[in-house]
Amino acid sequence: MSSYKTRPTPGDTAWFRRDRFGMFIHWGSYALPARGEWVKQNEMISEEKYEKYFKYFDPDLYDPKDWARRAKAAGMKYVVLTTKHHEGFCMFDTKYTDYKCTNTKAGRDLVREYVDAFRAEGLRIGFYYSLIDWHHPDFTIDMRHPRRNDPDAEEQNRGRDMKKYARYMRDQVMELLTNYGKIDILWFDFSYTGPKYENPPQYPWMGLKGGKGKDDWEAEELIALARKLQPGIIIDNRTQLEQDLWTPEQYQPEEWIRHEETGELVTWEACQTFSGSWGYHRDQTTWKSPEMLIQMLINTVSLGGNLLMNVGPTARGYLDYRAEAALGVYADWMRVNARSVYGCTMAEPDILPLCPNGCRFTQTEDGSRLYVHLYSYPFKALKIPGLAGRVDYAQFLHDASEILFDEKEDGSVVFKLPVVKPPKIVPVIELFLK
């Protein structure tokens, strides 16, 4: 067994830490403006103007079976879909608002089809649910709200009641966790109180509370409800109450994340985008290279974490060609290299420091196999110190071709590699340890 012990979690995270790789899907009516899921607040669009995206929402080419097949081929083992994002538009049939997909040209419950399709491919099912809601009439205007600069924002807030909104969230979470069978992950997003957020000077009119957090969401009740309905479900920490998951967003941690107070290692999942935006963004040109995509996955696992990689489907309901290509990059690599990802974690403390420049280690939980990921391909030989006497057999992972090696007197092992790099973005050496 791995010598790394993680802080115990209330939910069932054992499968999660084994599976390592999931798909995030940001899909909502913000796919129409195609300028990212924050467009309503970024451009301070009025309700009236934003309404057109409801009116014209018509995902006629929605085919979640195709998404699910691509996710599975990419090696993803679980999936998390935005059932409601900050814009407030619901992708499922709910009794508690008319602002839902069933009242658009889509005319049906899109979450239901998503659940069925991904479950059929054997992936575990997650729901993202936004704590923020820029449509709900009881959600008070705060510093991150599209109406934040309205001169009469304070007046508008007078009739709003966050208690009613908290109730609305419980009602919807009840629906989501009752009507779709077993749900494995509930991904709340997000809280924004604290010194960083309180009364930022750029909105001086806001004598109102700067942000919102666990008390506004009535997070204890919300979570108790979720746990009652789906015991074992994995919940993130973004309600501001510690649960199962730490969720670094759009950056790659450099160490295994630790608990802020106790210093214990925690269960973590980096969420990342292909191009910067979560929701479909037509004009973004900052797409990550194939090398980055593969390295982000390996880097994450090499630090004991999971990767949740996002796609932002188009408003027609299919995946953008660039997203399909990026998923293809994972598919090509994972088809033959998944063994260095599933069931793997950070290399053991006595092995980790031996990692040569330009390489990354992962190691199986039971310690029996060590994976050497070659980021910069060496010329003909790779020397790893300290491994002499510990390697039973070595091969390339992608084709199981033997790699001969010599053990040196200084305790190092020299692996004999072909001069030309094998045709994989990151070749992997699999070492069976004694």
Q: Which residues bind ligand GLC (CB under 6 A)?
A: 26, 37-38, 189-190, 249, 271, 278
Residue 38 C-beta: closest distance to ligand GLC, Å:
6
Compare residues 37 and 133 and give the one whose CB is closer to ligand GLC: 37
Compare residues 37 and 175 and give the one whose CB is closer to ligand GLC: 37
Partners of 307 in beta bridges: 21, 270
Compare residues 157 and 310 and give the one whose CB is closer to ligand GLC: 310
Residue 190 C-beta: closest distance to ligand GLC, Å:
5
Compare residues 131 and 370 and give the one whose CB is closer to ligand GLC: 131
Compare residues 154 and 249 and give the one whose CB is closer to ligand GLC: 249
Compare residues 125 and 354 and give the one whose CB is closer to ligand GLC: 125
Compare residues 20 and 373 and give the one whose CB is closer to ligand GLC: 20
Residue 309 C-beta: closest distance to ligand GLC, Å:
12
d(CA 407, CA 385): 10
| Nearest partner of 17 among 28, 6, 1, 25, judged by Cα | 6
d(CA 18, CA 2): 12
Residue 78 C-beta: closest distance to ligand GLC, Å:
15
Residue 212 C-beta: closest distance to ligand GLC, Å:
13
Q: Which two tokens stand for residue 6?
A: 């993680």
Residue 244 C-beta: closest distance to ligand GLC, Å:
16
Residue 13 C-beta: closest distance to ligand GLC, Å:
18
Compare residues 87 and 184 and give the one whose CB is closer to ligand GLC: 87
Compare residues 251 and 379 and give the one whose CB is closer to ligand GLC: 251
Residue 197 C-beta: closest distance to ligand GLC, Å:
12
**Chain-centre distance for alpha carbon 147:** 29
Partners of 413 in beta bridges: 384, 407
Q: Which sign, positive or negative, has the C-alpha torsion 229, 217, 250, 31?
A: positive
Q: What φ, ψ does residue 73 adopt, rounded to 5°? A: -60, -35
The neighbour count for residue 149, using CB atoms within 10 Å, is 13
Residue 62 C-beta: closest distance to ligand GLC, Å:
20
Compare residues 278 and 371 and give the one whose CB is closer to ligand GLC: 278
Residue 308 C-beta: closest distance to ligand GLC, Å:
8
